[in-house]
Amino acid sequence: MSPLLYALCTRLFPILACVGVGTNLGLYQLFFALLSGRLLASRGALFPALSDCGLSAEAVRRSVAALANGKWDIATLMAAWRKCVQQERHFRRHTYEGYSPVPCDLVGFFRPHLQGPVSKHYTSQAEKALPAMVWGMVADVGSVSKKRLPLLRRLVRRRLGETEAAFQARLLQETARTLQKDELLVTDAGFSLTDCLLCEGAGFVIRLDQNATARRNRLPAYKGHGARPKYGEVVRPLARTYRGKELAATSADATARWKVGEKWARAHLFEDLVLPDQKPGQATFRIVVIFDPRYKKPLVLATNRKLTAYALWCVYADRWPVEQMPLAAKQMLGCERSFVHNDQSRWRLPELAMLSGNLLSYVAACGQPVATGFWDRAAQPTCGRVRRLLARLHFSDLPLLSGQVRKKNSPTAHLPKGVAAHRRKSRYLKADKQGVTA
């Protein structure tokens, strides 16, 4: 049997050690269904996916019950997972000039037919916001061997009725409290620079729009007539056209350049700035415009840390691995569609899928590449190849430690069975019977 299978199971057992006996077995079976891509074949149906793993009907019901009603939370599982990775020391975290990037982004698992109140998330495929379960995901970025990987750090649920702007602000505030002094919060242009500046003491790197502007943190010289200036000079990092008029770019305070392959990348730096609607004396930041010869449009970044342009370029490049986690959970493991409707299951299943995708990517990077077939002559250590290996197995093929992960032998003879176990009765009918008895 492949060593990757044992490596996967030995990493699953520490994660499930913090879960109660019986529930951990149900989650173990559920993890295997996710990791082997059974949801792809069942198109998101959980019961057929678990049954396809070789589980009995009772085992399938217990696994679904562990998902819906088990006493566990994803934060505890992620903490155990991060501890396991840190103990193995294969994951080397990226650091640039003493700062480590912590990318942050939003992800939505779309549920267009889900009944009841549900949030919405924008998708470019439909060009509009669709009903979805929305999370904020935060990760650390590093390398295992030569492969760059994210390490899942936090998953924050979006509350029902909460606007996207309010959720983004809350996500930044909660994440900023967990950052160390040598960590940088990295976000894309969907987040607000104002919200980043409100995270006092936290370093950040955020991408700005092409037409972004700012003001100097000092007042311009008085011209001798009219009212004295109250705002700093407007800084326009890039030139643009507005109503047929050419608006020139502001001269940079400094420039920098470095080698990218055989070509040179250059950057324009603007120091000591405030927001365009603020007066001098507020929280300041810097704007760095990077002209990469490989791309048509320049990259406009804002930060409140004294980093070189090259370091900022590297830091923002490490924002992209956070996109790999929903990619692995949706496309690789098949959780893009899911047919669970319990109040807890609708949240917990995508969270387990995100953790499973992160686990599968890590195991693939740590082990030897597994060829899909004879045609795969240049196999790479990807999660998709490990998933295809697991898809050939049944649950009975997996190693199972009876002392850690096992069925809980609880007495159930006194409990109702069958239809009587889940029969619902009206509370008004119960009240009438109590009144008659009285």
* pLDDT (mean) for 51-68: 91
Q: What is the pLDDT of residue 31?
A: 92
In this prediction the pTM is 0.87
* Three-state DSSP state, 40: helix
Q: What is the pLDDT of residue 401?
A: 55
Distance CA 150, CA 143 (A): 8
Containing 157, the helix (H) or strand (E) segment is: strand 147-157
Residue 432 pLDDT more than 70?
no
Neighbours of 76 (CB within 10 A): 12
Q: How confident is the model at residue 80 (pLDDT cuts 50, 70, 90)?
A: very high
Q: What is the pLDDT of residue 431?
A: 53
Task: Name the phi and psi angles at 47, rounded to 5.
Answer: -60, -50
Distance CA 364, CA 367 (A): 5
Residue 73 pLDDT more than 80?
yes
Task: Please give the C-alpha separations between residue 58 and each of 216, 393, 396, 401, 424, in angstroms, as whole numbers.
Answer: 68, 20, 15, 20, 22
CA-wise closest residue to 288 among 279, 277, 300: 300
Residue 433 pLDDT more than 70?
no
Q: Which residues contact 139 (CB under 8 A, 6 or more apart)?
A: 102, 103, 150, 151, 152, 153, 321, 322, 325
Q: What is the pLDDT of residue 437?
A: 45
* Three-state DSSP state, 232: coil
The strand ranges marked E within 188-260 are 203-207, 214-216, 234-235, 240-242, 245-247, 254-260
Residue identified by tokens 């493991």 is: 333
Mean residue pLDDT across the chain: 88
Q: What is the pLDDT of residues 228-258, one digit of tens each?
A: 889 999 999 999 888 888 889 999 999 999 9
Q: What is the pLDDT of residue 371?
A: 86
Residue 121 pLDDT more than 50?
yes
Neighbours of 358 (CB within 10 A): 23
Q: What is the pLDDT of residue 290?
A: 97
Which is it for strands 263-274 and 214-216: parallel, antiparallel or unpaired? antiparallel
Neighbours of 364 (CB within 10 A): 26
CA-wise closest residue to 53 among 411, 392, 404, 419: 392
To the nearest 10 degrees (0 to 180), the angle between helices 3-16 and 345-366 is 140
Q: What is the pLDDT of residues 389-425, one digit of tens each?
A: 888 888 777 766 555 666 666 666 666 776 666 665 5
Q: CA dihedral defined by 343, 347, 350, 351, rounded to 10 degrees? A: -140
Q: What is the pLDDT of residue 436?
A: 46
Distance CA 29, CA 90 (A): 27
Q: Identify whether the C-beta of residue 141 lies closer than 8 Å to the C-beta of residue 318.
A: yes
Q: What is the pLDDT of residues 291-320, one digit of tens each?
A: 999 999 999 999 999 999 999 999 999 999
Three-state secondary structure string covering 51-111: HCCCCCHHHHHHHHHHHHHCCCCHHHHHHHHHHHHHHHCCEEECCECCEEEEEEEEEEEEC
Q: What is the pLDDT of residues 206-232, one digit of tens each?
A: 999 999 999 999 998 888 888 888 999
